[in-house]
Amino acid sequence: DLWSPLLSKLELYLDSKVSGLPGKTLVDDKYMQIIDCIEYTRTLDDGVLPNRWKEADLMIVGPSRSGKTPLAFFMAQRGFKVANFPLVPGDSLPKQLFEFPQDHVFALTIDARKLSNIRNNRVKTLKMSSSASYATVDKVRNELNWCRKLYTENPRWTVMDTTDSGVEETCARILMILEDAGLQKRTASPSAI
């Protein structure tokens, strides 16, 4: 038995007794709530399972690569169930998006050149054809114009420009908006970022 002498010395040094429960960790309800939020957000990433969106605390929409998923996961780690939906011109929008509380929808936008650069990096990383129009500035501009028109048609959505904003700053802005509107349901606060 190699551990007993060491544990006895540690008990004396720390003036404490061994609990006899190896690996015991303290997991409280708040921790489990955050795990539930993360799992919900992971399961409903990228527009999946719109029939479960009604369980979300907030919805994030925006064009591809505008930061929806990282923002959703960052907010989930702060105790929010977050669904997100990619906006693609020409694709129909699910009715559940309009059944969701509209003042809990956050619509992302970003500078066209920056988004084009982000997408070009993705094209290279995934070794996609460099002729893919997905990343061209003109394609991105058209998508962003379509998104702006959609956002104008839905004035209760909060539009957030992520061009020069990190995930943390965008999250803090959302938390302040929710708090100011009295809509914040969970315990997170902007200072918790």
Q: What pTM does this model have?
A: 0.80
| pLDDT confidence of residue 38 | 96
Angle at 155 between CA 38 and CA 45, to 5 degrees: 20
| pLDDT confidence of residue 23 | 62
Residue 179 CB partners (closer than 8 Å, separation 6+) = 189, 190
pLDDT tens by residue, 8-65: 888 888 888 877 666 666 678 888 999 999 999 999 999 999 999 999 999 999 999 9
Other Cβ atoms less than 10 A from the Cβ of 16: the count is 9
d(CA 157, CA 154): 6
Q: Which residue has the higher pLDDT, 182 or 71?
A: 71
| pLDDT confidence of residue 187 | 47
| pLDDT confidence of residue 61 | 98
pLDDT tens by residue, 65-113: 999 999 999 999 999 999 999 999 999 999 999 999 999 999 999 998 9
| pLDDT confidence of residue 87 | 97
| pLDDT confidence of residue 190 | 47
Please determine, for residue 132, whether its predicted confidence score (pLDDT) is greater than 70: no
Q: Which of 30, 33, 29, 55 is nearest to 44 (CA)?
A: 55
| pLDDT confidence of residue 7 | 81
pLDDT band at 1 (very low <50, low <70, confident <90, very high): confident
d(CA 36, CA 4): 39
